[in-house]
Structure 1
Amino acid sequence: MDQTLIEQLNQWHEEDEHQRIVDSLLAIPEEEREYEVVSRMARAYNNLGLYEEALNQFEKISEAGQHDPLWHYRVGFALYHLKRYEDAAQAFSTSDKLEAGDQHTELWLKWSLQKAEKQQRQERRMATRREAAMESRGSGAEEVPFSNMSLVDFWDDSEYARNSYLSEPPTDELITSIEEELGYKLPSSYILLMKQQNGGIPRNTCFLTEEPTSWAEDHIAITGILGIGREKRYSLCGDLGSRFMIEEWGYPDIGVVICDCPSAGHDVVMLDYRACGRDGEPEVIHIDQEDDYEITFLAENFEAFISGLVSEEEFDTSEEDKEADLYKVAQGEFSPLLGELCGQVTEVENIEQKIRSICTQIVEEKGHFSFHADELSYLMYDVQFWLYTKSYPDSSRERYLAIYEKMIAFGGEFGQCGYAPGWITEWLDRRMHEVRIVEEDGRLRFTDQFAVEVVKQLREA
């Protein structure tokens, strides 16, 4: 492949311009696409989320790729995101055997094995549930729901709950209408609870899990329980109800969203009808949009879920989390990019220690390691911008916003495991409005005066 093209492809890859990579390589006649061309094209499809197309491309060079650890790694990446976890584990395992010791490969292999095991448990459980559902059809009367549980103090009364969740008790006609709209028969235990109070926020909002989720290592949290109706925003057929979450947020159409969560849409609790059919007794599951709609089993039925809710006070780990973050900012290894940028600094002695000192103050004040819109966070936004543009003075707004996460946000040991892009654009817009950052010929930089101020603050940290 032409060296000029290779350099251009590398630049586009760094700038997340993956469609440009695909378009450029597709312009090469198919009969002239050598191994490296097809491999790079498949990688770009992976980065675009087009995993099936990526696998199609990898298949074209499969024979030549058998002894290439990178080929197996990229195939594993595609298979993982297609939820073919056993196949992904095999691909990563082969990559690891061909080139042992690569941390990324080992991590993806670990995740694939964990997901594969979880997937197998889920399939076994669903098979058992299907068999039990077949055997129980037509077999006697059901027990009265919640006969062993008092619901007297179940709900938490608040103006927000009344305004957003609570409706009048549902009539039988309304229940039938909602079931027809959703396409599922609602559990008798849910209907009984809604006739006692139709939607709201329970006093206990946490549920223990055997596996970690995006919320916590050992539990999930809910914000409220959706009622039977259409009028309230958080009701089954309301503006932010079950159909909205499935049709607009992309949640799988396997049942009914029954609870919203504190993540504001990024995870939900659902009734899962896959094993029992649309008229059966559904399981309760947690679905995590942030983890590619990962499904975690919660309870065998709605009554068991309600009975298992516990207080959030049982999971108060704020002090432990603060201590862990204090250790992280004091001892955690910098990301490769942040380490490289700090290595170029001559204006400030012990620059790494200065950064750790500022971040320690942030953790002490907030109790956790994150940047928002406060004074110290803005200082760290300034420091990162100064460091990066000092080494890469040709940076545009787009390039800087794309590279930002590789310094601290997703910085490995010395990292935050995430960030809200809106905070960064808000800081950047504010600095430009203040004329502390200026744009010249598409390149961003601090004014000389403000750069001096940032250096002064760093020295005094």
Structure 2
Amino acid sequence: MEKQYFADFELETFWEDTAYALKEYIEKPPSDDMIAAVEQATGYPLPPSYIAFMRMHNGGIPCNTCFPTRTPTSWAKDHVEISGFYSIGDSKPYSLLGLLGSRFMIEEWGYPDIGICICTCPSAGHDIIMLDYTKSNNGKYEPAVVHVSQETGFKKTLLAKNFEQFVRGLISDEYFDTSEEELKSTLRILRTGNFSSTLLTYMKREKHISFDRHLRNILLQLTNHKGAFALQEDELSYLVYDIQFYLYTQNQKVYDTTDYLKEYPQMLALSDNEISTNGYAASFVENWLNRGLEENKIISQPSGVITFSKEYEQELLRKVQLY
């Protein structure tokens, strides 16, 4: 007798079919040909439970997004969080063969080729949920579901023995609502923690302005306002981007903006010390940089070195000292 997957499962209350989910994730139920195409492209057989689930609703954003863990992860001390399920298809960005699909995460982001990426996470690529085929005996039984984090050297954390167990184990983020406690902890770190070794080196070379003190004050104000430590596209975030660029260009020569974008994460985004945003949205930084170039705040000197203009540099230093 063929095994029945997701018997008595409440599908109607599982999914949150927003306009965003419909645009980015959800595809029509997969055909046999599409399933075969995905298996050929990924190199792995799709587990029957995954196929059965996607034939009921092919990808999307669930209402419950958290899965408890027994050990700490890069996301939290007791759980991981997902932002959506990849669909079996190729037309949506978050489909297995889509623009941001499973092979993209493995080939472009460096995730281990142990199976198939099945869920995106809120970290914008810095962690992911995968089907792990390393112990599935070439598909004779279903692969396990694991959390893999780029921030911890692609460490694997076992979540569930199979896909159905994972889906049924998802719970609401309200269960882990520790926002007030986390905010207090973040503010404490911003007051007393260390900046990255890179920023510390640059700050010590500044003789006339205490960037350590002023930057802390800016980050404290930004975090209190947002309720979390994150750099986005707002006035205070742009000021923090400015400070990092100023400190960097006072110590390193930049001839190509792409070179700076590669070095940017070492300062705050992926700091090697306590004060870190633990990730970043590259598009926000690129938009800040492009705006600076368009407004001639960032210019190319006759030598070819890219810096702030003298006028904007003076304006920035005055602004920083107000905090």
TM-score bracket for the superposition, by shorter chain length = 0.7 to 0.9
Q: 1:450 aligns with which of 283, 299, 312?
A: 312
Partner of 1:190: 50
Asked whether the equivalents of residues 321 and 367 of structure 1 are also in contact (C-alpha less than 8 Å), the reply is no
Higher helix share goes to which structure?
A: 1
Out of 219, 224, 227, the residue aligned to residue 79 of structure 2 is 219
Partners of 1:414 and 1:264 in 2: CA distance: 19
Q: 1:214–1:290: 8 Å Cα contact kept in structure 2? A: yes
1:321 is aligned to 182
**Cα shift at 1:226:** 3.5
Answer yes or no: is 1:294 the counterpart of 2:152. Answer: no
> What pairs with 1:155-174 in structure 2 (closer than 5 Å)?
155-170=15-30
Superposed counterparts of 1:300-379, under 5 Å: 300-335=161-196, 338-339=199-200, 341-343=202-204, 345=206, 347-348=208-209, 352-379=212-239
Task: Tell me the secondary structure at the aligned position of residue 285 of structure 1.
Answer: strand
**Inter-partner Cα distance in structure 2 for 1:189 and 1:143:** 9
Question: What are the within-5 Å matches in structure 2 for residues 25-424 of structure 1?
Answer: 144-147=4-7, 149-170=9-30, 184-238=44-98, 240-243=100-103, 245-246=105-106, 250-276=110-136, 277-335=138-196, 338-339=199-200, 341-343=202-204, 345=206, 347-348=208-209, 352-387=212-247, 392=251, 395-397=253-255, 401=260, 407-409=267-269, 410=271, 412-419=273-280, 423-424=284-285
Structure 1 position 323, deviation (Å):
1.6
Give me the identity figure in percent.
44
Question: Runs of 5+ in structure 1 lacking a partner?
Answer: 1-140
- What TM-score do you get using the length of structure 2 for normalisation? 0.76
User: Which 10-residue stretch deviates more, 175-184 or 197-206?
Assistant: 175-184
Give the deviation of 1:245 after TM superposition.
4.5
- Write the distance in 2 (CA, Å) between the matches of 1:228 and 1:154: 18
Moved more, 277-286 or 305-314: 277-286
Structure 2: distance between partners of 1:184 and 1:336: 42
Tell me the equivalent position of 1:62.
none
SS at match of 2:321: helix
TM-score, normalised via structure 1 length: 0.57
CA separation of 1:396 and 1:286: change in aligned 2, threshold 3 A: closer
In structure 1, what is the Cα distance between the partners aligned to 2:28 and 2:129?
Answer: 23
Give 1:33's aligned residue. none
| Shift, 1:230, TM fit | 4.7
Aligned to 1:127: none
Tell me the number of residue pairs that the alignment of Structure 1 and Structure 2 aligns: 318
Measure the CA separation in 2 of the matches of 1:328 and 1:233: 36
Equivalent residue, structure 2, for 1:86? none
Query: Cα distance 1:217–1:452, how it changes in 2: closer, same or farther (>3 A)?
Result: same
Q: Which SS does the other structure have where 1:268 is aligned?
A: strand
Larger RCO (alpha carbons 8 Å, 6+ apart): 2
Partner Cα separation in structure 1 for residue 311 and residue 200 of structure 2: 26
| SS class of match (2:13) | coil
Q: Structure 1 residues 229 and 375, CA, compared in 2 at 3 Å: closer, same or farther? A: closer
Letter in 2 for 1:376: L
AA of the residue aligned to 1:190: Y
CA distance in 2, matches of 1:199, 1:336: 42
Q: Give 1:365 shift.
A: 1.7
| Gaps in structure 2 of 5+ consecutive residues | none
Instruction: Give, in angstroms, the shift of residue 308 of structure 1.
Output: 0.4
Distance (whole Å) between structure 1 residues aligned to residue 183 and residue 133 of structure 2 = 40
- On the 8 A contact 1:183/1:278 being kept in 2, the answer is no
For the aligned residue pairs, the C-alpha RMSD in angstroms reads 3.8
Alignment check: 8 A CA contact 1:273 1:280 kept: no
How far has the Cα of 1:420 moved from its partner? 5.1
How far is the alpha carbon of 1:309 from its aligned partner? 0.7
